[in-house]
Structure 1
Amino acid sequence: MTPRLYEGTKRLLAMPMTRGAYNQYRGWETPEDENPKDEGYFVEYQDGGKPNCPRHVGYISWSPKDVFERSYKALPVSTLPPHQQRVLDEKQELDIRITKLDEFIQLNPMFGKLPDAERARMKRQLDVQRELSIILSERIVNF
């Protein structure tokens, strides 16, 4: 059988993220043969695919920068009504804050020096932010 060439279109959310940051977000170790500083994109598919992470409604993955930029072009902001664009912007900003707080909790030695009550509040904050991100994803899927 001879392979055939296929071309498709997918709708997705994406933001720049290194391979190492993506692996950290997923709770994975970066394999020794991969460079954690590789530039790329965090991708969440909006048009189907079984979720593979409980913090997201869609299937998520990481794509190298050159592959992603050859395959996808950002939609002009003007294609969405302002109220929908605000939801996209809010989700993107929230996901960045989630990543930063998660990194602080997981990696920063200062977290362990904080009082128990403050550490508990920060973990609750992270849980609530993740839940809000899921809600925003659900809204976006239904645009």
Structure 2
Amino acid sequence: MIRIASAFLIGLLFGAGLLLSGMANPAKVLNFFDFAGSWDPSLAFVMGGALLVAAIGYRLVLARPAPALATSFSLPARTALDGRLIGGSALFGIGWGIAGFCPGGVVPALGLGRIEPLAFAGALTAAIAAVRLLEARRAQRPQAA
């Protein structure tokens, strides 16, 4: 129960930070990418602050033998830069630049009562389902010799 409550509180804090910083507003995000027009550098400060907090947090947390609410850390085993990672990152950036939403920022924006976050969340969910379906089909195909 404490793990669920802590995850809820952490998510609430994250969402509140996104709302307070304006990152749930797609116009603010899109203005960051508009260098020739109404450029808004505030997103760079939000990202820089997030990177600073994350860098310090990771150093402190990973120095411990285990997380506070788990028996061991669950870190990615793969560390190589491959086509899937680079392609997924590129698609993420393109989608963010077009829509002004990222998956983290769209969640608190869903509560604003607008259709755009709902459409983005639906498209994101459909894309995740399509990738999982394609990967499952690829895994079922016999390997060529």
Give the TM-score taking structure 2 as reference length: 0.32
Query: Which of the pair has more CA radius of gyration?
Result: 2
Structure with the bigger percentage of helix: 2
Point out which structure has higher relative CO (alpha carbons under 8 A, 6+ apart): 2
